[in-house]
């Protein structure tokens, strides 16, 4: 990819994240954020963790693929991990190796689990507005030597663009309104997982493939992802989604 091509893709990604329709789905926005990061940076996968409005505890809300989702969920199971630490501290996490200290000392159970999945380093950037912290975006790498400070700055820029979209939808970025919006996204992620499971079982495809089909169907018909997922979770699966040649 030439420098000009890369700059064009970066500009397109920022515009895509920052400028959304008035009634956009916040969960889809955050998933798009992880996808843009994986497409533009030398990272294996990415996920978003937000702070629950009531408990103030970090909750994993979306990820670029099932590998990252499993890694994020395992941190909750173990009670340790870089994503949890970064979200709780409400600050970025610098690039940290999972093959040597301090990473192996700080996360003695998560580090070997991540290495088994091919992840050897992690980092996190904040998802925030000037007056509040919303959570963070977690970056997981298989080849950390390929990741530069410039790459991490770009990750911050993309996260900022998504935060701008969340704030813009709520006009003046009222804290309670933005947090309520993220809480709805947290609630929505469960029904999306259910819909992915239904499609995966019906079509005999992976969860990642099921999600891609689900998302493509919603976009092609200008439906909200969460609304389509709720319909599928109830057992009402559109016939077009079950077409094996689609």
DSSP designation for 50: E
What percent helix, strand, coil does the chain show, rounded to 5? 60, 15, 25
| CB count in 10 Å sphere of residue 114 | 23
Render 61-85 in DSSP notation, one character per residue. Answer: EEESSHHHHHHHHHHHHHT--HHHH
DSSP run (H or E) holding 60: strand 58-63
pLDDT of residue 135: 84
Bigger pLDDT: 51 vs 114: 114
Q: Across the chain, what does the average pLDDT equal?
A: 85
In this model, does residue 2 exceed pLDDT 80? Answer: no
Asked which of 66-75, 97-106, 167-176 is least confident by mean pLDDT, the reply is 167-176
pLDDT band at 198 (very low <50, low <70, confident <90, very high): confident
Average pLDDT for residues 51-65, to the nearest whole number? 82
User: Each residue of 90-128: pLDDT tens digit?
Assistant: 889 999 999 999 999 999 999 999 999 999 999 999 888
In this model, does residue 21 exceed pLDDT 50? Answer: yes
pLDDT of residue 176: 61
Bigger pLDDT: 37 vs 240: 37
Q: Could you say which architecture CATH assigns to the domain 3-170?
A: 2-Layer Sandwich (3.30)
Average pLDDT for residues 13-40, to the nearest whole number? 88
Domain ranges of the chain: 3-170
Going 176 to 31 to 46 to 244, the CA torsion angle's sign is positive
In this model, does residue 245 exceed pLDDT 60? Answer: no
pLDDT of residue 177: 66
pTM of the model: 0.75
| CB count in 10 Å sphere of residue 242 | 12
């Amino acid at each position: 990819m030439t420098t000009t091509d890369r700059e064009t893709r970066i500009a397109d990604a920022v515009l895509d994240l920052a400028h959304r329709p008035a009634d956009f789905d916040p969960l889809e926005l955050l998933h798009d954020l992880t996808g843009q990061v994986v497409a533009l940076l030398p990272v294996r996968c990415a996920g978003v963790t937000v702070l629950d409005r009531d408990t103030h505890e970090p909750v994993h809300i979306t990820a670029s693929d099932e590998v990252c989702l499993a890694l994020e969920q395992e941190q909750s199971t173990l009670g340790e991990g870089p994503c949890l630490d970064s979200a709780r501290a409400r600050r970025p996490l610098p690039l940290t190796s999972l093959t040597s200290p301090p990473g192996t000392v700080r996360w003695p159970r998560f580090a070997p689990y991540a290495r088994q999945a091919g992840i050897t380093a992690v980092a996190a950037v904040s998802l925030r507005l000037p007056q509040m912290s919303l959570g963070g975006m977690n970056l997981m790498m298989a080849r950390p030597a390929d990741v530069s400070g410039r790459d991490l700055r770009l990750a911050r820029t993309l996260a900022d663009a998504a935060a701008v979209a969340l704030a813009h939808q709520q006009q003046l970025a009222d804290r309670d309104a933005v947090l309520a919006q993220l809480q709805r996204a947290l609630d929505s992620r469960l029904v999306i997982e259910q819909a992915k499971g239904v499609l995966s079982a019906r079509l005999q495809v992976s969860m990642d493939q099921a999600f891609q089909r689900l998302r493509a169907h919603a976009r092609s018909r200008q439906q909200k992802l969460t609304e389509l997922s709720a319909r599928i979770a109830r057992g009402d699966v559109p016939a077009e989604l079950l077409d094996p040649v689609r």
